[in-house]
Structures are given as C-alpha cells and as structure tokens.
C-alpha cells in the first residue's frame, strides 16, 4: 500500500516490551530509492537520543493507532551504536549496526535493495559487538548515496523544458519500504496542482543545488492522468500513469 512518507513521522515504535520512540525520518539510497534506515527519536526514554533501525526490524503497522511494531527489545535498542545527530551517517556506523544486531547484509540487500556494505561485508554472530572508541563520522567513509527524506523535501524539479515544481513529499510502499514516487507541487506554473513523478524518471540529483532533473517535459506533465494529493494510487491509475510516460513497471 502506498502512503505519504511524511505521514509516518511521529508513528510510535513498539518493541516487544514497550515503546522505544517515534519515527523522525527515513534514510534512503538514491540509486534504488529503497529505505535503508528509519531514524528513531527516542524522546525522554534515552534523553532525546536518536537511533537507526533497518526496515528488516519493522513488523506490522497499526495505522489507526499510528504505531509500528519492532522485532527488538528496549534493551537491544538502548545498547545499540549511537547516531551523532549533526554528523553524516558513516559506513563504519552502518557496519557496527549490522554487527550489533546480527543482520545479514547480503540477505537484506536481496529483500530491500542495494547496499554498498553488502557486497564486501558479512555480519558476525548475533549480538557480538565492541563499540568504537569514538563514533565520529569520517566524511570519506560516508556513503554519498544515503539521503534523508527531510532533506529532499523542497527540492526543485526540472524537466526537459523548464521547472516542474518542488518536492512536497514522497510516496512509500510499506510492503517493500521503497519510495516509488515523488509528490511534486507544480506551484504557480500549473495552478498549484500535484503530480506524481516516478523514481524511474530521475536523471540526476544535485544536492548542492537542491535540484532534481527528470526525463519529463511540461507537456507530458500537463497531459498526464489527473491526480490529487488526496487521491489513491490504485493499480489501474498506476498502469495509466506508467503507460503515459512510458515508465517501466507497475504493480
């Protein structure tokens, strides 16, 4: 099922023995558009500390209660490697997380998308962990493709022949924890309408310019199947959308 990624912010995360915090953000791979980590704000429980959880640890969603179940205990989360809030996520920290939880990167890669660690690293037995002396991210050790949902919101979207609008949100598939579509607000260019742009259309992301360049023209956007920000994306609509733009794949 597709949902607005921003709608998950604030969802309570329920471990097997109690709440561990709320969803603050998602980190995704900008090559596959798959979520690699949930950023969890632990609130007062761990003195406003943030931790990272892989989607593999997430269980069922209760949308009425705005809760996600987590296949971990509070003690496991409390002893996990810490995330430095003002530092980029290093590949070293990701390796420590795989070590600590005993997650198998190769298996996770096949289920949740590409991971640069997976091709050269396999995790040791469950919960064997020695914390690093200093967990400060080295810029040279950071994955340049690991990005935040919060950071991409507001980026300008440029088509072949001019501006299309700004990223207002992303749609998330909560079955695969991937982001198949950008929700773009066209602003003044097209009377504030909202359109869906597939990840397949993204040609280049300039993080320095806060801009996303796509393989789409304004004419194509105006002629696309109509959609509102409150509308569902059912299989028939998705099929029509992909046929219109000649994008690969749909549910």
Structural domains in the chain, CATH included, are: 2-148 (3.90.50.10), 153-245 (2.30.30.240)
Residue 136: per-residue pLDDT: 43
Write down the pTM of the prediction. 0.82
Q: What is the pLDDT of residues 141-191, one digit of tens each?
A: 677 788 899 999 999 999 999 999 999 999 999 888 999 999 999 998 888
Q: Which residues contact 196 (CB under 8 A, 6 or more apart)?
A: 171, 181, 182, 183, 184, 227, 233, 241
Q: What is the pLDDT of residues 103-154, one digit of tens each?
A: 765 444 544 454 543 333 332 232 323 333 344 444 456 777 888 999 999 9
- Of 128 and 3, the structure prediction assigns the larger pLDDT to 3
Tell me 90's DSSP state.
B
The mean pLDDT of 236-247, rounded to a whole number, is 94
The 3 state secondary structure assigned to 53-77 is ECHHHEEEEECCCCEEEECCCHHHH
Residue 243: per-residue pLDDT: 95
Kindly write down the DSSP assignment for every residue of 153-216, as one continuous string.
TT-EEEETTEEEEEEEEEEEETTTTEEEEEEEE-GGGGTT-EEEEEGGGEEEEETTTTEEEES-
Distance of CA 44 to the CA centre of its chain: 25
Residue 14: per-residue pLDDT: 96
Residue 127: per-residue pLDDT: 30
The mean pLDDT of 51-63, rounded to a whole number, is 92
Could you give the CA distance from residue 21 to residue 74 in angstroms, rounded to a whole number?
10
Kindly report the average pLDDT of the chain as a whole number: 83
Does residue 47 register a pLDDT over 70? Answer: yes
């Amino acid at each position: 099922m597709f949902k607005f990624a921003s709608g998950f912010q604030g969802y309570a995360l329920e471990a097997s023995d109690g709440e561990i915090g709320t969803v603050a953000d998602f980190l995704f791979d900008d090559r596959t558009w798959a979520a690699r980590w949930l950023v969890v704000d632990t609130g007062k429980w761990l003195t406003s500390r943030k931790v990272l959880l892989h989607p593999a640890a997430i269980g069922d969603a209760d949308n009425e209660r705005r809760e996600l179940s987590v296949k971990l205990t509070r003690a496991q989360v409390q002893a996990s490697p810490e995330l430095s809030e003002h530092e980029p996520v290093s590949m070293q920290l990701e390796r420590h997380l795989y070590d600590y939880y005993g997650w198998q990167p190769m298996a996770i890669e096949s289920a949740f998308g590409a991971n640069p660690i997976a091709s050269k690293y396999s995790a040791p037995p469950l919960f064997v962990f020695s914390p690093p002396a200093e967990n400060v991210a080295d810029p040279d050790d950071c994955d340049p493709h690991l990005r935040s949902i919060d950071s991409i919101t507001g980026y300008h979207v440029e088509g072949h022949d001019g501006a299309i609008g700004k990223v207002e949100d992303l749609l998330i598939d909560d079955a695969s924890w991937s982001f198949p579509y950008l929700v773009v607000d066209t602003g003044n260019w097209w009377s504030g309408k909202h359109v869906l742009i597939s990840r397949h259309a993204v040609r280049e992301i300039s993080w320095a310019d806060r801009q996303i360049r796509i393989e789409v023209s304004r004419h194509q956007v105006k002629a696309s199947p109509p959609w509102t920000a409150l509308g569902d994306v059912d299989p028939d609509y998705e099929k029509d959308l992909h046929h219109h733009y000649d994008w690969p794949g749909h549910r």
